Structure 1
């Protein structure tokens, strides 16, 4: 009985830790943002098949949910990611899913050359120059890494970063401890200042 209780407590603690850490990452390196010109950047995930995989479908939905309802007509959505294998680029696969499956008819741009997160940011920078509000969408740890990269490459643009809809309490709960562990590994190169939660 004690073992069962201990395992249950450990399981609940792991789930709570995963929720807390993902929520924290979602709120790091973002501000309030001013102005009306909004750009939502959706980062691609390895997608060797012709249709969007589970992760890319989630990222597209999170990206579209991140569009401010009052700024729909002023918002550009940039899908970024190159080809993995013989299939279409990650960017094109996500854009196709947004249009065909979700009925999105807004302003879409594609960045189809990137192979890494650093390249994602480097290649979309010219498309962000006139934005008042910049939103980068992925799983919370990956999005934080991308925001840190934008801060390193263009601190002036990083000041325009705002929060996105990439964290919801209870969504992916079972997977969040694993996502948190993986996130800690992928974020090991960030400085403490780059992990700071925005007020």
Structure 2
């Protein structure tokens, strides 16, 4: 499993490290973990992990729904040859993020406004 994301604050822990620690300690994930902890944007997340995906049979991008959609669109732009390996992920779980979901949805729609119609699909 690849976790991607740098620190959001100066001196703070990298998002990749926080997600990996959660997967191991709370979800009891015991598989191989690879960290990409330098990226600052979604574009960089995708760009920096694509070398790690070259030999993958399937690619599943998991995140908050709007963020995952954006990452999949960026993979299609950066590496269409890898994007054909995208498979559906469980982006939405009922009840998750209940209090902030309306704000996240509005923000997500605003950030996705530049995507073309063909880039708004979950998998090929």
Task: Give the TM-score, by structure 2 length.
Answer: 0.88
Name the CA distance, whole Å, in 1 between partners of 2:68 and 2:14.
20
Please give the secondary structure, in 1, of the residue aligned with 2:39. Answer: coil
Aligned residue in 2 for 1:118 = 43
* Runs (5+) with no aligned partner, structure 2: none
Structure with max Cα Rg: 1
Contact 2:88 2:123 in 1 (8 A): no
Contact 2:69 2:122 in 1 (8 A): no
Contact 2:73 2:115 in 1 (8 A): yes
Name the CA distance, whole Å, in 2 between partners of 1:166 and 1:196.
13
Aligned residue in 1 for 2:92 = 167
More helix by share: 1
Aligned residue in 2 for 1:147 = 72
Which is worse superposed, 175-184 or 115-124? 175-184
Name the CA distance, whole Å, in 2 between partners of 1:102 and 1:185.
32
Name the CA distance, whole Å, in 2 between partners of 1:173 and 1:87.
26
Deviation of 1:144 after TM superposition, in Å, equals 0.4
Q: Which has the bigger relative contact order, CA under 8 A and spacing at least 6?
A: 1
Name the CA distance, whole Å, in 2 between partners of 1:168 and 1:128.
26
More strand by share: 1
* Runs (5+) with no aligned partner, structure 1: 1-76
Task: Give the TM-score, by structure 1 length.
Answer: 0.57
Contact 2:14 2:37 in 1 (8 A): yes
Match of 2:7 among 67, 83, 90: 83
Corresponding residue pairs, total: 123
